[in-house]
């Protein structure tokens, strides 16, 4: 398994510590365990220090040689959790965009406080149907996916009910360039910008826009991310979808969101930037 996530790396290290404890409890050296399993002793060391992810078969062999068969199931479950932290888009979307959209519904429904930072596109809860269709069509073509865009669009539109239902709160931060990069053409973008003016006035939504001229000396644009309460952060990378659950890292994203929020303008300031972007579409 390869991942740039320090959350995944920390979890992998923790798994290695557990396996090392099992080896030590069995009274085996790394060399002895390697001999029993037919591995080079360096493999044992790499796994124990989180530099190499074991397979489920590796864990099974490790535990069997250490007379710890009763721990196999729990350790394999830990491995699956580590693997789930980073999912490639082709794996997530292998059955199409509709199911990928539906997969996040339980997370959306149990979240009460959303914090969303987007440096590139208007995020899903604030998108118009036409904008959604343009975004998902581009993804479908770029990743050579089955064409179920129409069904996926409907799922995303239906998900937007969370913006108006219950006591959920949405704090959304956009870089101003999101307003200036037309997606779907000028007409689609004009509709999307107009929708931002409407949805930004909802009592459940705090819409902040970071102006192009903001002083970025202390905090610069980072990868787009979503915070779901204080329980989970998701990050959309070029290669895949990253899920962060380690409290220390979630707190880091919270601090970054707060710093970015200080650069943003709200209310009349945000509306002025949106209306300026609408006017620019006609130039």
Domain boundaries, the chain: 6-84, 88-280
Q: In the prediction, which pLDDT does 4 show?
A: 44
Span 104-112, average pLDDT:
90
| Tokens read off for 224 | 């787009």
The pLDDT of 95-109, averaged and rounded, is: 84
Q: What value does the mean pLDDT of the chain take?
A: 90
> What's the pLDDT at 265?
98
Residue 6: what pLDDT? 59
Same topology, domains 6-84 and 88-280? Answer is no
CATH superfamily of 6-84: lambda repressor-like DNA-binding domains (1.10.260.40)
How does DSSP classify residue 54?
A: P
- In 3D space, the residue among 276, 256, 260 whose CA is nearest the CA of residue 174 turns out to be 260
Give the right CATH number for 88-280 from 3.30.870.10, 3.40.640.10, 3.40.50.300, 3.50.50.60: 3.30.870.10
For 156-190, what is each residue's pLDDT tens digit? Answer: 999 998 888 878 999 999 999 999 999 999 999 99
User: Rounded to an integer, what distance in angstroms lies between the CA atom of residue 33 and that of residue 43?
Assistant: 10
End-to-end CA distance of the chain: 49
- Checking if the pLDDT of 5 tops 70, the result is no
Judge whether residue 10 has pLDDT over 70.
yes
pLDDT at 139 over 70: yes
Identify the helix (H) or strand (E) that includes residue 39.
Answer: none
pLDDT in tens, 70-88: 999 888 877 876 776 776 6
Give the strands of the sheet with 169-175, arranged side by side: 86-88, 240-244, 232-236, 225-228, 113-118, 169-175, 205-210
- Please provide residue 105's backbone torsions phi and psi, each rounded to the nearest 5 degrees: -55, -45
């Amino acid at each position: 398994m390869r991942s740039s996530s320090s959350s995944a790396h920390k979890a992998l290290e923790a798994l290695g510590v557990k396996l090392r404890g099992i080896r030590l409890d069995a009274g085996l050296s790394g060399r002895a365990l390697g001999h029993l399993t037919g591995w080079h002793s360096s493999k044992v060391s790499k796994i124990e220090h989180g530099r190499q992810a074991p397979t489920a078969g590796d864990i099974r062999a490790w535990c069997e040689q250490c007379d710890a068969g009763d721990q196999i199931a729990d350790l394999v479950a830990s491995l699956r959790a580590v693997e789930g932290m980073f999912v490639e888009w082709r794996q997530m979307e292998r059955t199409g965009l509709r199911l990928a959209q539906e997969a996040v519904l339980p997370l959306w429904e149990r979240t009460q406080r959303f914090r969303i930072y987007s440096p590139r596109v208007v995020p899903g809860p604030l998108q118009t149907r036409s904008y959604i269709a343009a975004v998902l069509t581009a993804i479908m073509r770029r990743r050579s996916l089955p064409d179920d865009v129409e069904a996926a669009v409907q799922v995303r539109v239906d998900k937007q009910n969370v913006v108006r239902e219950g006591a959920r709160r949405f704090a959304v931060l956009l870089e101003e360039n999101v307003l200036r990069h037309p997606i779907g053409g000028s007409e689609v973008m004009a509709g999307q910008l107009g929708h931002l003016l409407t949805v930004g006035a909802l009592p459940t939504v705090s819409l902040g826009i970071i102006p192009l001229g903001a002083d970025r000396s202390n905090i610069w644009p980072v990868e787009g991310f979503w915070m779901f309460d204080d329980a989970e952060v998701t990050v959309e990378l070029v290669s895949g979808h990253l899920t962060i659950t380690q409290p220390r890292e979630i707190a880091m994203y919270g601090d970054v969101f707060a710093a970015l929020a200080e650069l943003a303008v709200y209310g009349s300031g945000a509306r002025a930037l949106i209306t300026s972007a609408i006017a620019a579409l006609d130039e």
